[in-house]
Amino acid sequence: MIEMRDVGFGYHGGAELLSNMTLSLQPGMFHFLTGPSGSGKTTLLRLCYADLLPTTGQMTAFGDDVGQLSRDAIADLRLRVGVVHQDTQFLDHLPVAENVALPLTVSGQPVDMEALRDLLGWVGLSQHARAMPPSLSGGERQRAALARAVIMSPDLVLADEPTGNLDWDMSMRLMQLLIELNKSGKTVLVATHDLNLIRATKAQVAARVLRIAGGTLHLAGADL
């Protein structure tokens, strides 16, 4: 799925923020990526959907060398990787339902309205289908972003601090959706610095926890 071998990355050709990263995302596995703020969690996720390219090392996504992908191939990769961005990233001139269906629209696929309604119901936003994104609360925005991330039925779902601005109940509600996704066979990678959230989730699903410290990636163990 996503394979990194000795990958390093530094912004604007500067010192490496991440170095010697070796990672293999296991299909169907729930992964957490943790580490202190500024450690490079978001950067690692951006590498996963080719928003950034490694400056050193080798990285493949679904078997393809990410550094050799054309712009169209990158777009196709992003249709296979659903991403819940930290700042959600909506088109504010479109209602929630159209934002959620956007990956289908831009890839030229028809929108199955019944399936869209089901998806909005799954994330608890049936009543907000016609609402405009700026009118949504933080939790609603995150759930809408999750719905958009999974509408293409991607092989991999990445979530970057999805609970960063949410209270505990709303955070657990969102994590429940991600656990459901994982149980349906999707590979999930959630970046978070919230250890309590990781512990609570691990109580419900087998999860692999990766920790970034000192610019490198470690498999976290019982010290979590």
Binding site for another protein (CB under 8 A): 49-52, 70-72, 74-79, 83, 85, 89-94, 98, 101-103, 105-108, 111, 148, 152
Of 107 and 135, the one with the shorter C-beta distance to another protein is: 107
Of 18 and 97, the one with the shorter C-beta distance to another protein is: 97
Q: Measured from the CB of residue 50, what is the shortest distance to another protein in angstroms?
A: 8
Among candidate residues 80, 75, 45, the one with its CA nearest the CA of residue 150: 80
Phi then psi for residue 97, to 5 deg, are -60, -40
Q: Measured from the CB of residue 219, what is the shortest distance to another protein in angstroms?
A: 29
Q: How far apart are CA 24 and CA 21, in angstroms?
A: 10
Of 90 and 207, the one with the shorter C-beta distance to another protein is: 90
Return the structure tokens found at 216: 């490198």
Q: Measured from the CB of residue 1, what is the shortest distance to another protein in angstroms?
A: 17
Of 78 and 128, the one with the shorter C-beta distance to another protein is: 78
Q: Measured from the CB of residue 99, what is the shortest distance to another protein in angstroms?
A: 9
Q: What's the chain's Rg over C-alpha atoms?
A: 17
Contact 92, 132 (CB under 8 A): yes
Q: What is the dihedral sign for C-alpha 19, 41, 190, 98?
A: negative
Q: What is the DSSP letter of 150?
A: H
